[in-house]
């Protein structure tokens, strides 16, 4: 598969070799269960705790505020379920943006069917949430506000610090969660500065393996434990730890610490080149969402009159991977709930594709994409 052109880095990223080598030590040699009593298991235990310290440090959290999960989906589920049903609540009000990842939307719908009220706040056509809409939706019984940091389809970045401060000003008892899964590769995340209570991250968007993530839980946040059956994660999330995944995630953070800004610049350069080439070669297209305040690697673009599924399949035939939206829904013919929430025209939605560059993509790959696109469209 070496001649694949992979422009779907928002779906997942390749496992970095350096990270894999670090993980291998804990898959093949130090394979002990960290909960066992003998000396051998201490290697795994120490590796987990060092990783926790490293990752929490990176987002300016305390070590005991970071809990490993199986990924972003689980962290998002924990945030919502842990404040509502698991807490023994039978009702209450939740505020979400209408263009959250399905891990949030579907969990909220589940809660809606069990007696909770959910208000979905629409972004504007550019892909931004107005803090006033969030604040106006707050009620006496609002338990939680959840606003994603970087949208996974259009890449727009929300001003989480300001939105959170307005929510807290209106009612400091409301728990504020942000899904920062797509933000980790792009932004410097400082949970203390943002003043959020809960924050979800995931490893496989930053070249760590799939199946590892974490939920930051600010000290004092009244959230119920999530998985029962063992004392792992201080009894809050039971189950033998994914030691290699945790170590890999930590290594990915080491690399981000050094390379994040450089990677962002590389992705910006790729996107600018792409946009220039598109402008030179095509007329009937529209970029969905703002190009300002948008994650560096992301483009969501509609080629008018070109059906997105046909385009994705034709590109696939040429070995080019692009997406019709989020990875979780890309197998479906349904239009994107993100673009629907942004009130994007039906015709644009039918042809909207997501291209997400990684820092390892090249200008030459973009040239190949342009040639392929011309052939397909003609």
Q: Which residues sit at the interface with ligand PLP, rule CB under 6 A? A: 71-73, 76, 101, 103, 148, 152, 179, 181-182, 202, 204, 213, 326-327
30 vs 182 by CB, closer to ligand PLP: 182
Q: How far apart are CA 289 and CA 318, in angstroms?
A: 27
Q: In the complex, which residue's CB is closest to ligand PLP?
A: 72
* Closest CB 228 distance from ligand PLP, rounded Å: 21
* Closest CB 73 distance from ligand PLP, rounded Å: 3
92 vs 245 by CB, closer to ligand PLP: 245
* Closest CB 10 distance from ligand PLP, rounded Å: 6
Closest residue by Cα to residue 101 from 66, 72, 60, 62: 72
**Active-site entry in 187, 328, 370, 377:** 328
142 vs 182 by CB, closer to ligand PLP: 182
Chain Cα centroid distance, residue 44: 27
101 vs 308 by CB, closer to ligand PLP: 101
Whose structure tokens read 């040639």? 371
Establish whether 328 is a catalytic residue. yes
| Strand positions, DSSP E, 87-239 | 92-97, 116-121, 142-146, 175-179, 198-202, 213-217
204 vs 251 by CB, closer to ligand PLP: 204
* Closest CB 2 distance from ligand PLP, rounded Å: 25
Contacts of 152 (CB under 8 A, 6+ apart): 10, 101, 181, 182, 326, 338
Contact 160, 177 (CB under 8 A): no
Contact 201, 54 (CB under 8 A): no
List beta partners, residue 325.
none
Q: How far apart are CA 330 and CA 322, in angstroms?
A: 10
Whose structure tokens read 């690399």? 255
CA dihedral 281, 285, 290, 293 (to 10 degrees): -30
* Closest CB 372 distance from ligand PLP, rounded Å: 25
First and final C-alpha spacing in the chain: 27
Q: How far apart are CA 163 and CA 178, in angstroms?
A: 11
The CA R_g of the chain, rounded to the nearest whole Å, is 21
* Closest CB 157 distance from ligand PLP, rounded Å: 12
72 vs 123 by CB, closer to ligand PLP: 72
Just list the catalytic residues.
Answer: 328
């Amino acid at each position: 598969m070496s001649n694949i052109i992979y422009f779907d880095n928002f779906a997942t990223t390749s496992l970095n070799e350096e990270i894999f080598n670090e993980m291998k030590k804990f898959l093949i040699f130090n394979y002990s269960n960290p909960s066992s009593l003998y000396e051998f298991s201490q290697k795994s235990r120490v590796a987990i705790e060092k990783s926790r310290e490293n990752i929490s440090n990176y987002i300016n959290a305390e070590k005991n505020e970071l809990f490993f999960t199986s990924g972003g989906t689980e962290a998002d589920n924990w945030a919502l379920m842990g404040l509502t049903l698991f807490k023994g609540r039978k009702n209450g009000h939740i505020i979400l943006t209408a263009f959250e990842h399905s891990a949030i939307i579907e969990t909220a719908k589940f809660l809606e069917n069990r007696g909770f009220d959910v208000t979905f706040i629409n972004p504007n056509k550019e892909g931004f949430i107005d803090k006033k809409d969030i604040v106006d939706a707050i009620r006496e019984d609002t338990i939680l506000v959840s606003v994603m940091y970087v949208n996974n389809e259009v890449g727009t970045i929300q001003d989480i610090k300001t939105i959170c401060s307005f929510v807290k000003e209106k009612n400091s008892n409301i728990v504020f969660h942000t899904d920062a899964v797509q933000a980790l590769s792009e932004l410097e995340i400082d949970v203390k500065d943002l003043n959020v209570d809960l924050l979800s991250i995931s490893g496989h968007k930053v070249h760590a393996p799939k199946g590892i993530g974490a939920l930051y839980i600010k000290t004092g946040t009244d959230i119920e434990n999530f998985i029962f059956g063992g004392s792992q994660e201080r009894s809050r999330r039971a189950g033998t730890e994914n030691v290699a995944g945790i170590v890999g995630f930590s290594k990915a953070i080491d690399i981000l610490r050094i390379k994040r800004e450089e990677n962002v610049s590389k992705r910006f350069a790729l996107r600018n080149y792409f946009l220039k080439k598109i402008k030179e070669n095509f007329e009937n297209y529209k970029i969905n969402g703002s190009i300002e305040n948008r994650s560096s690697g992301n483009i969501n673009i509609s080629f008018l009159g070109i059906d997105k599924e046909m385009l994705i399949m034709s590109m696939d035939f040429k070995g080019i991977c692009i997406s019709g939206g989020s990875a979780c829904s890309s197998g479906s013919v349904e239009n994107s709930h993100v673009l629907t929430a942004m009130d994007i025209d039906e015709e644009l939605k039918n042809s909207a594709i997501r291209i997400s560059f990684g820092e390892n993509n090249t200008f030459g790959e973009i040239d190949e994409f342009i040639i392929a696109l011309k052939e397909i469209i003609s």
